[in-house]
Amino acid sequence: MQRPAEKKAGVHTYISQWPIYSLAWSVRHDKPSRLAIGSFIEDYSNKVELVQFNQDTSDFTTDNRLIFDHPYAPTNLMFFPSEDTTNPDLIATSGDYLRLWEIHDDRIELKSLLNSNMSSEFNSAITSFDWAECDTRRVAMSSVDTTCTIWDIEREVVDTQLVAHDKEVYDISWGGFNVFASASGDGTVRVFDLRNKERSTIVYENPQDRSLLRVEWNKHDQRFIATVGMDSNKVVILDIRFPTSPLMELKKHDASVNAISWSQGKGHQICSVSDDSRAMIWDVVRPGFQSESGGDMEPEMWYGTTAQINQVRWSAVELNWIGIGFLNKLQLLKV
């Protein structure tokens, strides 16, 4: 079924039935330009919808059989992180629990509900998760209960659970095999190595002592991590070889930054989106870069919308495409 769309050169808009918060790109070779969007409804019952974009016709298509109910608004969505079509077609979601769903041509079925707190009838909200590309059995998730949990999703068991921070953990990102970073309400970004679970390395402390809400490791160049603080208009770029001192701060947004996403192909570009209704693309860690200029660095390009932008995801396969979410609109930007 074709859905309402707005057309503009290089910008393609899908209009959903619900406000959009979370989004994800599929990476399977046989499902190009497929996305998932998660609703933000202030109610128990929310939705996740699969959307197919056709680059030849610039049309979006959906199938009502590929929309499923989700308890609470999903805090994150990720498809199985492999291009190999022999893998199962799965999507993971987080909210009250981590869930895995299996996608069929005519339906989506819950495959597993992963509960790391079986000893209690209560569970803590899951703020985010990251599915390891280098070891697809592993999903790392962050929680408001100060823990980070590593799941073995094949066996559906907890591999590791760490008390990671002094306050809520708001985001988590893999940086390679056995290594991940987390951002917390205690104002720190910490790096963990599962081969030495007793210690972590603080690679950044927010000088304003405010919560850090987003962290994303550059999967293409693992020297670099980006983080964003609560109510902050800055994106902080870290070089883990020189912990605690930021490589640069990107501060041309006029309001709070809500989400960030590294380019999966070039590795030196990052996109940030903000309450100022703009998406900005920055060329940050290119060869020969001088970090002293980072303070007044201008974005390489920016795009303005009509409302606060909640989410951004740079496609890992179609490297010229970025997805953003605001109001009830999914916009795909060709850059």
- What per-residue confidence (pLDDT) applies to 290? 52
For residues 144-168, average pLDDT: 95
- What per-residue confidence (pLDDT) applies to 244? 74
**Residue 198, exposed/middle/buried by CB under 10 A (0-12, 13-18, 19+)?**
exposed
Q: From CA 286, how far away is CA 297, in angstroms rounded?
A: 13
| 138's tokens | 């592993």
Number of C-beta neighbours around residue 197 at 10 A:
12
For 97-122, write each residue's pLDDT tens digit. Answer: 999 999 999 999 999 999 977 666 66
- What per-residue confidence (pLDDT) applies to 2? 46
The whole-chain average pLDDT of the chain stands at: 93
Q: From CA 85, how far away is CA 216, in angstroms rounded?
A: 26
What structural domains does the chain harbor? 81-116+123-334 (2.130.10.10)
